Chains A and B, each alone.
Chain A
Amino acid sequence: MATENINFESPRGWRLAGRYMLLAVVTAVVLFPVYTTVIAALKPGDKVLQNPLVPDAFTLDGFSDAWTAGHLDRYLLNSFVVATVITIVQLVTSVVSAYAFAMLDFPGRGVLFVVFLATLLVPFEATLVVNRRTVDSLGWLNSYQGLAVPFLATAFGTFLMRQVFLGMPLDLRDAAAIDGVGHLGFLRHVGIPLVRPTLGALALFSFLGSWNQYLWPNLITTEDDMNTVQSGLRLLRSSALDEPNLLMAATIIAAIPIVVVLLLFQRQLVRGLTAGAVKG
């Protein structure tokens, strides 16, 4: 539970009112785009271009059309599958690589570490064209493999987990070495339970990151069935121009799963964001 930072100088009187006012105004501004989107999504096709600020009609047609004709059901499924696969595998590769870097001493460790570091600096945009060719030659266009495999490893995750491993009490590490538990055993019984909180944060990061990918799914899908939610939205922007209510409903449907995921895992999110930031 987040501790309330109780300020011993709580504002009173007009200062309190002023603060509420300010908060309310900011809330209104922040929510304005969401408000107009929701209103448009709930209007029938013939009313959507009038009175964008007033909910003068109500229908769920926009949503049902987006789900069926807009193929959002398929897009959501694809996004889920890809994001889940990427998240799980990223966790595994990150933990395992981090363990190697943190717990083992071996020749070339420094060099390999720098190699990992280097990948952090490469923006994804610089690799797109070549990656598409690689995926094409592997026959992975329009496939879950093509969507997921390039992202199954991450230097960021490795670094994060490495920090956590390094933060483990020294005697635990030495104890493991002496007992001869073996690396896997150590990981299973000691390592993972200890890093579980950060694992949760990393999982959330990975899921969000891969859910939000825009360029890559666009690039490698040519069959509509394999579009993710983000590339599907792009398609809808051109194909549903004459049905703005469908388009707006689609954006809401696209956002809802993440809202649910975030609500369920909000603690991990906070912990993850602060862990990354404080350690710099």
Chain B
Amino acid sequence: MLALVAAGLLAAACGNGETILNAGNEPATTLPVEAPATLPPVDTLAPGDTLAPGETVPPDDTRPPSTTLPPPTTTTIPLADLAECPVDALDEGSGTVELTLWHGLNAESETALTKLTDAYNASQSEVRVELQNQGNYSQTIDKYVQSSQGSRPDVVIFPEYVVQQTADSDSVIPVAACVEESGYDTSTFQPSTLTAYSTAGVQWGMPLGVSNPVLYYNKLVFEAAGLDPEIPPRSLDEVRQFSQQIVDSGAASYGIAVDSGTDSGGGWFLEQWLANEGELYADNGNGRLAPATRVLYDQPPGVELLTYVQQLITDGLAFNVGDNAGGTDTFFKLADESAPAAMTIGTSAALGTVIAALGGGLIPGLTVDDIGVGAMPGPGPTPTALVGGNALFIVKDKGDEKAAAAWDYITYAVSPEAQSQYVTDTGYAPVRADALDVEPALSKYASDPRFRVAYDQLIASPDDPALQGPILGPQREVRGVTARAVAEIFNGGDVQAALSAAATQANLLIADYAARN
């Protein structure tokens, strides 16, 4: 045991306080730490402003002149330089083409995808798609990255935060090539869904299911607190008001349950909230005009935002469930018998699962109709949302037949009929407007307005590329770093300090990614 204690002490004495990402690096590659002593007002975009191409947010005055960023140039990669999409190869082939598809969807989302794929397989005999569930998004990404090109699947479903990484990996055929080859009509598509999966002017993935955060709330508690159960709060200010009323009336112990998970409260929501205010998350137009070099959430807008949420917790109006590793902890807080919360923000994609779980009686006393869905309340007065969800990517070097077969599957999956069925079974929003003119979504959206919420707040959002949310190479890792800062903040830490530290590490991740890839 002495050996162990000695090891522990040695460890404690040996640390240098640096992050492991800097290991072995010469000091020159670390970015100068930006820690403004005072914070003069920063020029930002007012909500509704759009950027002209090539324009940037005016640099804030706090940075010393030597580090002002040069105005970014918009980088585009000509389509001709990328892999081709032989859409006609399927006609020449004989026999059935077998495709493997990797995904990380669970519960009702997985059921809906299976249903869609089975219908596709049954509808024709040239292509057969086999689904392989890798457990969750992270596992899908990890296994894809670790495998050699030959071991990768033919099609893969990735979430929206690995677009840059996938593009850089040079392992997929951009769907833009297929769209161009086949003349596919994307006019009815919601433009923001397409740009969400584009970088450097090229669309890489075809969005399959669009999700964004929505507000889930307990209607019974609203009623008991004297609030109208059909009117959810539409901004963070209203969340505060409603929560105060709920807590004061004793209808629930907390107004809202928040979390610091990477793909929810700690990472994703921050991206959403900043966009709602019209703020940039990263430079170079959120990384969409040119590769980003730093994050901007440690600037006053981000600080104010998180201070506001921290205050909710300190005042006892919000409850922090923690890291929310499984994604369900916030929902379970609504079902907590002794100290429940009345609201929580979660992904709209979970709606199908929530309905199924409640319908199966998982939570006593809570039926399907007792849960209301509202738009995601943000710092701005009106709710807007960024495109989340996932998209289909075609893996290259699998042969022309498979590429064409993959494109065939994709066109089926985003056809109005398939999308209509898909969004009805889950809580995903359709990628194209004409899916709502077709059954079963037509009746579903009319009869259960909860399914509309994600879609409505999506189309209400500005189409401006720079306000589409960030696109970064190491976005997943940056979210992890940000989540740590948010966790610290929710635990009562100093907001500016936490965000500055996270920004430093995020910038390091970005620089490290740029150096390595």
For the complex, what is the distance from the CA of A132 to the CA of B147, rounded to whole Å? 8
Q: Which of A102-110, A191-199, A234-242, A272-280 contacts B (4 or more CB under 8 A)?
A: A234-242
Q: Mark B125-162, 1 if CB is under 8 A from A, else 0.
A: 00000001111100000010011101101000000000
Q: Are A239 and B102 in contact (CB-based, < 8 A)?
A: no
Q: Are A141 and B151 in contact (CB-based, < 8 A)?
A: yes
* B residues less than 8 Å from A222 (CB atoms): 102, 132, 134, 143, 147, 151, 153
For the complex, what is the distance from the CA of A48 to the CA of B148, rounded to whole Å? 43
For the complex, what is the distance from the CA of A108 to the CA of B136, rounded to whole Å? 50
**Known contacts A136-B148, A222-B132, A235-B135; is-contact A242 B143 (Cβ 8 Å):** no
**Known contacts A136-B147, A239-B110; is-contact A46 B132 (Cβ 8 Å):** no
For the complex, what is the distance from the CA of A49 to the CA of B331, rounded to whole Å? 13
Is A137 an interface position by the 8 A CB rule?
yes
Is B326 an interface position by the 8 A CB rule?
yes
For the complex, what is the distance from the CA of A58 to the CA of B357, rounded to whole Å? 20
For the complex, what is the distance from the CA of A194 to the CA of B110, rounded to whole Å? 55
Q: Are B135 and A238 in contact (CB-based, < 8 A)?
A: yes
Interface residues of A in 105-146 (CB under 8 A from B): 129, 132-133, 136-137, 139, 141
* A residues less than 8 Å from B24 (CB atoms): none
A137 CB → nearest B CB, Å: 7
* B residues less than 8 Å from A237 (CB atoms): 326
* A241 interface neighbour in B100, B150, B328, Cβ under 8 Å: B328
* B133 interface neighbour in A139, A234, A239, A242, Cβ under 8 Å: A239
Is B362 an interface position by the 8 A CB rule?
yes
Q: Are A49 and B362 in contact (CB-based, < 8 A)?
A: yes
Is B70 an interface position by the 8 A CB rule?
no
**Known contacts A46-B361, A136-B148, A136-B151; is-contact A242 B107 (Cβ 8 Å):** yes
Q: Are A242 and B132 in contact (CB-based, < 8 A)?
A: no
* B residues less than 8 Å from A45 (CB atoms): 360-362
Q: Mark B304-343, 1 if CB is under 8 A from A, else 0.
A: 0000000000000000000000111000000100000000
Is A224 an interface position by the 8 A CB rule?
yes
Nearest A residue to B364, CB-CB: A50
For the complex, what is the distance from the CA of A224 to the CA of B104, rounded to whole Å? 12
Q: Are B143 and A46 in contact (CB-based, < 8 A)?
A: no
Is B165 an interface position by the 8 A CB rule?
no
Q: Mark A220-258, 1 if CB is under 8 A from B, else 0.
A: 001110000000001101110110000000000000000
* B residues less than 8 Å from A223 (CB atoms): 100, 132
| Most chain B CB inside 10 Å of its own CB: which residue of A48, A129, A136, A241 | A241
Q: Are B110 and A238 in contact (CB-based, < 8 A)?
A: no
Q: Are B360 and A46 in contact (CB-based, < 8 A)?
A: yes
Q: Mark A80-101, 1 if CB is under 8 A from B, else 0.
A: 0000000000000000000000
* B residues less than 8 Å from A238 (CB atoms): 106, 135-136, 326
Chain B interface residue number, banded:
20 to 34
Q: Are A49 and B364 in contact (CB-based, < 8 A)?
A: yes
Q: Are A242 and B102 in contact (CB-based, < 8 A)?
A: no
* B residues less than 8 Å from A241 (CB atoms): 106-107, 326-328
Is B50 an interface position by the 8 A CB rule?
no
Q: Mark A35-76, 1 if CB is under 8 A from B, else 0.
A: 000000000011111100000000000000000000000000
* B residues less than 8 Å from A136 (CB atoms): 146-148, 151
Q: Mark B336-363, 1 if CB is under 8 A from A, else 0.
A: 0000000000000000010011001111
Q: Are B328 and A235 in contact (CB-based, < 8 A)?
A: no
Q: Are B362 and A46 in contact (CB-based, < 8 A)?
A: yes
For the complex, what is the distance from the CA of A65 to the CA of B84, rounded to whole Å? 44
* B357 interface neighbour in A47, A235, A239, A242, Cβ under 8 Å: A242
* B residues less than 8 Å from A48 (CB atoms): 362
For the complex, what is the distance from the CA of A238 to the CA of B150, rounded to whole Å? 27
For the complex, what is the distance from the CA of A222 to the CA of B136, rounded to whole Å? 12
Q: Mark B84-111, 1 if CB is under 8 A from A, else 0.
A: 0000000000000000101000110010
Q: Mark B352-395, 1 if CB is under 8 A from A, else 0.
A: 01001100111110000000000000000000000000000000
* A residues less than 8 Å from B106 (CB atoms): 238-239, 241
For the complex, what is the distance from the CA of A237 to the CA of B102, rounded to whole Å? 18
* A residues less than 8 Å from B102 (CB atoms): 222
* A residues less than 8 Å from B335 (CB atoms): 49
> Which B positions have Cβ atoms within 8 angstroms of A?
100, 102, 106-107, 110, 132-136, 143, 146-148, 150-151, 153, 326-328, 335, 353, 356-357, 360-364
- Interface pairs (10), CB distance under 8 Å: A133-B148, A137-B148, A141-B147, A222-B143, A224-B133, A235-B133, A239-B110, A239-B135, A241-B107, A241-B326
Given contacts A133-B148, A222-B143, 6 further A-B contacts (CB under 8 A): A46-B360, A49-B335, A219-B146, A222-B132, A241-B327, A242-B107
Top 3 closest pairs, chain A to chain B, by CB? A46-B361, A242-B357, A239-B106
